[in-house]
Amino acid sequence: MQYAKNENGKLIRASKNIIATCPHCNSELIARCGAINVDHWSHKVECLYNTEYDNEWHIKWKNIALGYNLKVEKRIGYHITDAIDTINKYCYEFQHSPIATSEILSRVNQYLSRGYKTIWIFDYHEKYDDDSLLLKHSDGIIKFKQKWAKRVITTLFEGKSRDNEEACGQLYFDIGDSSLIILVKKLYSNGNGWGEEKYLSDLFVPKEIIIKEGYVECEFCGLWYHTPKCPRCEGK
């Protein structure tokens, strides 16, 4: 977990010699601060809710969500959504590690029961880097080929094609670009398909809100943000 609750009820990041509790189950947490893994909080006993370890990729996306004034690590039922937009009613799931199809459908149905659609962002940068994901730009769209397809992606997209579109929401591939992601529009049974390039601001905030609320575009990485510093590069 990236955030824990201190004795004053404030959400804080992991730090040595700090006492904090889980904001969801209220049990005591241990700060894991080492030289190898990203600093994070760990439960002393198993949490009643579905919490997972955050790697650097998760933290990057959660920081981006915070930059758009979204809340992170919010409990809905027995699931902890990575980020949530309470105004537009979206839950965001940042998926890096393998996940069972039963778990993925449990999440989308739980969120839908509370009135939230799900937006999935899958970490595809390793597939892209090792040529397991091949891209071709054509007539304003991106055609892609996969050497192997993730079953959960196929399951979610099949749901969109039938009667489960509200729950399945949108699917994006993060290929490691600093400001662009791929919105999957069509997925074939062999794992190939096509999509559209989208900016992060398209993912998180409607254009009219960006203009009205005074979002700023980072001159270094192109991210639109609403915090004193760019949450991705901090103005470096």
Task: Tell me the pLDDT tens digit for each residue of 174-230.
Answer: 998 867 889 888 888 788 889 998 887 778 765 555 555 666 777 666 666 666 677
180 Cβ partners below 8 Å, 6+ apart? 197, 198, 199, 200
> Is the domain of 33 the same as that of 76?
no
Same domain, 20 and 55: no
Range list of H helices, 35-174: 56-67, 101-113, 125-129, 151-161, 165-168
Q: Is the pTM of this model over 0.75?
A: no
Q: What DSSP assignment string belongs to 26-43?
A: --EEEEE--SSSPPEEEE
Q: How many domains does the chain have?
A: 2
Q: Is residue 76 located within the same domain as residue 14?
A: no
Mean pLDDT of 106-129: 88
| 27 and 72 fall within a common domain | no
Q: What is the DSSP string of 10-31?
A: -EEE--TT--EE-TTT--EEEE
- The distance from CA 99 to its chain's CA centroid, rounded to whole angstroms, is 14
pLDDT of residue 162: 46
The answer on pLDDT for 43 being more than 80 is no
Residues 64 and 175 in one domain: yes
Nearest to 95 by CA among 62, 70, 66: 62
d(CA 32, CA 74): 21
What does the block give as tokens for 37?
């893994």
Same domain (yes/no): 204, 225? yes
- Mean pLDDT of the residues in the chain: 77
pLDDT at 91: 93
Residue 24 CA, distance from chain mean position: 19
Does 103 have pLDDT greater than 90?
Answer: no
Q: Which helix (H) or strand (E) segment is 208 a member of?
A: helix 207-213
Residues 166 and 73 in one domain: yes
pLDDT above 50 for 59 = yes
Averaged over 59-73, what is the pLDDT? 84
How would you label 189-228 residue by residue, b for 16+ Cβ within 10 Å and e otherwise? eebebbbebeebbbbbbeeebbeeeebeebeebbbbbbee
165 lies in the same domain as 217? yes
Range of the domain at 30: 1-48
Residues 80 and 98 in one domain: yes
Given a cut of 80, whether residue 146 has pLDDT beyond it is yes
Residues 195, 201: contact at Cβ < 8 Å?
no
Lowest mean pLDDT, pick from 100-104, 111-115, 142-146: 100-104
